[in-house]
Every structure is written in C-alpha cells, then in structure tokens.
Structure 1
Amino acid sequence: MIRQALQFQFVPYPLWRRKMPAFVRALSRPLLERAYPVQFDQHPPTQAGPLARWLAQHNLLCGESESEARRYLAQQPATVEHSAQSTPPPARGKIRVPAQWEAAEQVLITWPVLYPPLWALHAQMVEGLTPVCAVSILVPAPLWAQAAHLFLRARAKADLSRLRFILLPTDDIWVRDYGPVVGHDEEGETAAVYGLYLTLPNYPQQRDRAAAARWAAHEELPARALNLRTEGGNLWSDGQGTLIMSQQVFHSNPHLSRGEIEERLHEVFIFDKLILLPRLKREETGHIDLLVKLADARTALMTAPTLFYNGSVLRKARWQLEHETNARGERYHVLELPALPPYLNWLGFPIWRSYTNALTINGRVLVPVYGVAQDTAALETYQRAMPGYTVIGIDCKAGVNGGGAVHCLTKEVPQSQKRL
C-alpha cells in the first residue's frame, strides 16, 4: 500500500448535499454550517444586510467596513444578465476545437459563492485574465454578483469594465468539465458542444448538466450534443487535427470500444487523430489536464516521473507521447515539470497537485502554484517552453483540494472567426 501524508484542508464541494445516511446528515449538519454558507445555498441572499454581515464574518471585505459593503450591495452597481432556461439553435455540421493559443474572446468562471476560501483564487484568475480578455462570471442569484463585484473592486486589481455577470445557476464551480466546448463549424460560425456530464453521482448535477446548453442559448450560439460521457478536462486540442484524451474515457464509457468512441467524436468534432494516454491512478478525475499540458502543437509539458506514486504511469505516458506524432506527422518534444507528492485530505480524498492544470489565453499562461519550493522551477519551465508568453502564478492551495486548479475552474471561448 502506498503511504500518503494526511491533511485536513478545506474541501470545495457541497458536502451537505452529498448522499448519506440520515443519521450522518443530522450529525454533520451543524459542523458543515460552520464552514459553508448552507443557509444561502437553500435560500440565496436577497437583502444587502445579511450578505454584508456574512462577507465580514469570512473576511471577504478587503478593508471595506460592513456598513460600506451594505450600502454598496444595496446600490447593485453590477449589471446582471439573466439567462433563460431555453434551448439553443442546432449547430450545423461538425466543429473544430481551437487550440488554447489561438485568439480567445472571453473566459467563463463560476464564482465560488459557497466557498469563502476560494474567493481569492477566483479573484486572482479574474485579475490575470481581464487585461487580455473579457470574463463572464456565472452566479446563482443577482446579489451574489454584487458581492463578487464588491470583492473585486476592493482588491483593485481587475479591469471591472471587462466583467460580465450572468445569472446561470450551477451545482458547482468546475466549469471546465460541465461548461461548453466552443469552436467553429465548417463555415466558420462559432458553435458549442456539450457532452453527457455524470461525473459526481453522489451529488445533484441537474443544473451542471444543463449549464452548457443554457449558456449557448443565452449567447444565441448554435449547439449540439456529444453522445459520450466525458468532461472538458479530459480534452486537449491543438486546433490542427489532433485531440488528446486520457483513458478515463473508457472508464466513463465502459460499454464502448475505442472505435465506437472515435466514431462518436467524429460525429461532432473535426479532427484527424486521437491520442489516448494512460490515466493517473488514485486521482479522482482521471483527466488529461492533470497529466499533460500542450504549450504548442509540438511541445508538451508533463510531470516528472520522480515519485513512486504514479511514476510508472507518468513514464508510460511520456514514452507514448514521445513516440507519437500529431496529426501533421510532427513528433512531440516533452518538457518535465516538478512532481509534488500527493496527500490524503480528510482520510478519503487523494489530492494530486499538478502544474499541467494551466490555462493559456491571449499571450498569457495562468499556472497553478501551491506555496511550495517547486513553484519557482515550474514557472521557469513554463517560461522556457513558452518564451513569448507572460507566465502568471495563481495560488491554488485551497482549490486543489477539490481535485483541480486553474484549468478546471475556467472555460475559454474562442474569438469569432468573422473578427479575425
């Protein structure tokens, strides 16, 4: 048995919603209410006073007084767009998924209203993004948009003019996985794809499953369904005909062969080659974005296989990628990122910290860092791999306890080809 360090860190999941025996629910409820705004989950805030008080209790006012916050929230300075529960128009034909280094129009983020320790993380991402693109923040209730706007305004680092707030309730914050895969159809029109999102069977997921189509309808974008159980975190595209996924897709679709999986992907996406790499062991998601990061169509960053834990998987994945070619017949050059030892959070949650879970956006790379010595080497590796980019570290110590980091918490929307 592999030994892992035991830690007791914040868990960014709605644990009070989890399926559990009634007596466990009764015993855990008082404890969960101390760590999470359970009352706001069931009854979203509608008045400035209680929300300002809660923000003060959780140190989310960034120097503002509670009375100042109450007045600001009551004024409701942020415009909130209301998305309707409607169906988007059908997409025409297949869709090409651009690479992340192609021009992007905006990034989607679900604001972590129920997780106070993650507000600073999301603010850092917004602050790193708004100089180069718009950011659409999804919120479950209008007053939460005002609270997020207040928090970002008080930090005074984001370009607030590039923010959009969209009232679009979700079940959780992992927008990479349940959000839309946005690309261009064969006529160059922007369109969205949404798969079968069933990744957390012990939690309610109805709103997450509906989020991609609802967002597409709000944006008046055509969309189509992918008849495959998969998540956005398990898909890389180089925009030139290559898709990379992990073998998690077999675990998620055990009734399908590789040929059948490729057939379903070909029904929706424009691509020539699918590369399937091994999935990490004892890592909750199995997603490719925790295993490899594409710097460009020929360069990949991967965690160094220096740990016993998952070392064999990492060596196998690197060997496979170095002996593969992309759809254009070009071999891959692999650079190594530092390996961080995993730990067990609250006995049962294996946490895999990966520097590959980064977002490339309009000349910037937002890289997760974890407050450890290896952070410096990871950022330097990114700078060598992507010399023309601005590399920005994002503190993900709290967010990674949910199984993901920057890439898992964001979803890029490519620029319309009509504007290029």
Structure 2
Amino acid sequence: QRLQQRLRRRQFRRRRSQRKLVNRAELGAPVSVLRFDPIPYPIWRRRMPGWLRTASRPLLRRWLPVEADEHPPDSPQAVTAYLRRWGLAGEDSLPDEKWPLPETVPDAEPRSAPDGRVRLPAQWEPVEAVILAWPVLYPALWDGHAQMVSALSPVTQVVIIVPAPGWSDAISRFLAATMRLTPGIRFLHLPTDDIWVRDYGPLVGYGPDGGRVCVKPVFDPLPHYPQARDNRMARRWAAFADIPVRALDLHLEGGNIWTDGAGTLIVSEQIFHSNPYLSRADVEAKLRAVFDFHKLIVTPRLKREETGHVDLVVRLADAQTVLVGAPGVFYNGGQQRAAADLFRRETNAAGLPYRVIELPAPPPYLNWGVYPIWRSYTNALTVNGRVLVPAFGIPDDRRALAIYRAAMPGYEIIPINCRASVNGGGAVHCLTRDILA
C-alpha cells in the first residue's frame, strides 16, 4: 500500500508539473527559461577580491580573449589564428584585405560651446555617420556587428573604433569575407572600456547659431567596472571632429533619451534614480538649461532590468507614432501597459496625439540563473531611410518586422542578429551612436 501511495504521489506531481508547462506554453512563455550564454561585459575587470581574480582569470581565458584589446594580432598569420581560434573563420583562406592603419584620436580637450540651448535631432533626420565600438573581447558579437556594417555602409559612413591600430586588419579581413568593403567604412583608434557606445558616445545636436554641439553628460553607471575611457570618449571624439562641447551636469546615458527634434523629449524614470540627490524639478531644470525642448515625457522603467533605459520601453517611429512593447502576463506587463497608456493620453510638443503601436514583448529568460534578459524590439536604429531592427531567432521576430514595415512605410526594414548582444542588456540601438549631418 505504501508503495502504491508513493507511486500515486509521484504520478500526481508529474501530472501537475506537466499542467504547469502546458499553461506556460499557452501563455507564450518558453518551456526552458535558463541559459548559459556568454555575457558581453568584461567581468574579469570587475572589482572583486584578489583571490577571486587570480582564480578566475585562467578559466576565463579558455572562453574569452580577455586581453585582446591590449594585445592585438600583429601579423597576417596571427590574424588568421585569432579568427579561427574564436570561430570567426573556417579553414578556407581569408580574403587578403589590407586596410590602412586607423587614425589615432588624440587625448585632447575640445573647444567649449557658447551658451545657448541645444536642439537634439530626431533619428529620422539626415545622419552623417554611425559609430560602432568593435567587440574584440566578445567573438559571439562579431557577426551581428558585421550585419550592422553591411546594412549601414550603403547609406552613411560607418566609423569603427578599435582599442589598438592592429585590429583594423583583423576586422577588415573578417568583413571582407561576407561583404564588399567601401570607402564609407572608417577605422579610428580610440580605446574604450566597453562596446555600448550609445550610452557614452557623442550626443550631437544644433546650437542656437545652427552649428553642431556635442552635449557631454556625466557617465558612470557601473561603479564596479572601469569607466574612465568611456567617460572620456565623447570629449576626445569632439576634439578630433572639431565640434565644441557643452557639459550637462547630470548622470544620463544616451540610451535613456528620445526626441522628435521638434520640442518633445522622452526619458524614463531612471534619470531620477541616477540623480538621487536632486529633486525632479531640479533634474528637469538642468535638462532645460542645456536642451531646447518644450515638453518632457517620463516613461516607466522596466523592473529587474539593469539599465532602466527608455530605448527598451518605447521608440518613436515619427513625431506622432510610438512603438511600445505589448503588455504581457509576465513581470513587466504592468510597466509596458503603463507606458502604452501614457502615450495614449499624451500629446507631443505640438499638441498632436500619438498613435500607439504595440510590438511583441518576448518573455525574459535567466542567463546563468542570475540575470533576467529582456528582448526588446524598440531597441532599433533609424538611419537615412533604413531601420535596423533587432532579431533574436524566435517566432516573434517575424511579427515585429511586419509591424515595423506597416508602421514605417517608405523605410527599408533590416533585421540584425542580436541573440548574443542582448545578454549584455542591449541590441542595435545600444551598440550604435548616430551623428547628425
């Protein structure tokens, strides 16, 4: 009898677990929510006890080129060996594409911009260049970056920043294997701490006289990681490009700001969390002192998402069309619903109502059992008639692309593989920095 009772209890537990899986599948949740994907952050440089650093470094060297930014391949043979070692090239011979050594951006101070508020352009305005920080430390991201270069180079200049001059040879040979290299691809030697150039890159707008101005906020969102080179990047680039700089005394990342270029500024609540010693009125006053806008819209931020940025919540397709993640039944359903309802009530600075279009909002998965990963289709980039939309290799990709085509007629919609980059908290928009014409 005891054996029969145990068997019945075991069968009951099995049926109950099966019902849970069926219910989760009906709700659209993945049956497997646990993954062990590479994390595109330099975790070996994170502040940690010395013994842990010593113990973990040899193990990390097996899985990642942890010193590649400081020690680039120094010969064609070393380039080939590196690309093959990390699965970036097969046994076939690589194209013998020798690219000129990149210019080095000097560590110089830029000119100061005159007083006056800066108008940030909308993304659908003409773009002169797009900056990418090449992921030399993260081989899993090379394919996605190559797709972005291929999609962008026919319509704008692509500036690839590298941590050492020798990397231009390896990257150009890798790109030449899949696309035709054009003079519109430019390499710059400008060391950074990481690849998320949207957040620390130059935020360029127009000053009162119509000239270009680079706005430089405070950048230090990751206190446990090195950030000094990222924090200097925009000022070095501005000096190199001879664009004056206007300082913004706020902690603000480029991924947490949208604009329609006509008086509307959109940020998430994260801006108040990033500046805890200032009141909301003080934060808005500092924004108004530097940026030329008439209306500020503040969206919710996603919960249990590290950045809190608005580009993971909403996206402007034009001055009256907002793309948002569809409210789901998962952890951030309330945040997404609140964002959609906010724009259904709101108007832009011209007093015109918004048309709200919902994009799929895939459920999160846990990477390494610790990090919830949120895949957002709003993290896209518009450049000179093209829209680069993140794709994650899931059925929702097709729906998202169809929605973009319907919402943005006249634009070429191009999917970009972001399955690897999303494990670092971002996709196309986070990995690029557009510079207006």
Normalising by the residue count of structure 2, what TM-score does the alignment of the two structures yield? 0.90
The corresponding residue for 2:144 is 121
Q: How many angstroms apart in 2 are the aligned matches of 1:264 and 1:380?
A: 39
Selected match of 2:176 from 137, 140, 153:
153
Q: Distance in 2 between matches of 1:149 and 1:401?
A: 26
Aligned mate of 2:305, from 267, 275, 283:
283
SS of 1:413's equivalent in the other structure is strand
Q: Is residue 284–residue 350 contact of structure 1 (8 Å, CA) maintained in 2?
A: no
Give how far 1:49 is off. Answer: 3.3
Alignment match, 2:36: 8
Q: Residue in 2 aligned with 1:418?
A: none
Aligned equivalents of 1:350, 1:137: Cα separation in 2: 30
Give the structure 1 partner of residue 89 of structure 2: 61
Q: Measure how far apart 1:57 and its partner are.
A: 1.1
Contact 1:62/1:151 (CA < 8 Å) preserved in 2?
no
3-state secondary structure, aligned to 2:68: helix
Give the whole-Å Cα distance in 2 for the aligned partners of 1:62 and 1:213. Answer: 40
Give the number of the structure whose alpha-carbon radius of gyration is greater. 2
Q: CA deviation at 1:225?
A: 1.3
**Structure 1's 184 and 317: CA in aligned 2 closer, same or farther, altered over 3 A?**
same
Cα distance, 1:267 vs. partner? 1.6
Worse-superposed segment, 244-253 or 347-356: 347-356
Among 123, 130, 137, the alignment partner of 1:100 is: 123
Check conservation: 1:324, 1:331, Cα contact below 8 A.
yes
Matched, 1:350 2:378: no
Cα–Cα, structure 1 residues 408 and 397, in superposed 2: closer, same or farther, change >3 Å? Answer: same
**Equivalence map 1:9-24=2 (5 Å):** 9-24=37-52
- The answer on whether the counterparts of 1:62 and 1:155 sit within 8 Å (CA) in structure 2 is no
Letter in structure 2 aligned against 1:11: I
1:394 corresponds, among 413, 416, 424, to 416
Structure 2 unaligned blocks of 5 or more: 1-28
Contact 2:344–2:353 (8 Å) recurs in 1: yes
1:322-380: CA deviations, max 9, x gaps?
11111100111110001101011112211110000000010110000100001000000
Contact 2:101 2:165 in 1 (8 A): no
Residues 84 and 90, structure 2, Cα contact 8 Å, conserved in 1? no
The amino acid across from 1:20 in the alignment is M
Q: Is the 8 A contact 2:99 2:168 kept in 1?
A: no
Amino acid at match of 1:255: Y
Q: Does 1:174 align with 2:202?
A: no
Q: Is the 1:63–1:154 contact (alpha carbons within 8 Å) kept by the matching residues of 2? A: no
Q: What number of residue pairs does the alignment pair up?
A: 407
Gaps of 5+ in 1: 416-420
Counterpart contact for 1:131–1:159, Cα < 8 Å: no
Work out whether residues 15 and 32 of structure 1, in 8 Å CA contact, stay in contact via their aligned partners in 2.
no
Which residue is 1:27 aligned to?
55
RMSD: 1.7
Distance 1:45 1:159 in 2: 21
CA distance in 1, matches of 2:144, 2:293: 34
| CA displacement at 1:145 relative to structure 2 | 1.3
C-alpha contact (below 8 Å) 2:198/2:255 kept by paired residues: yes
Identical amino acids, percent of aligned pairs:
53
The CA deviation at 1:44 is: 3.8
CA contact (8 A) 1:364 1:390 kept: yes
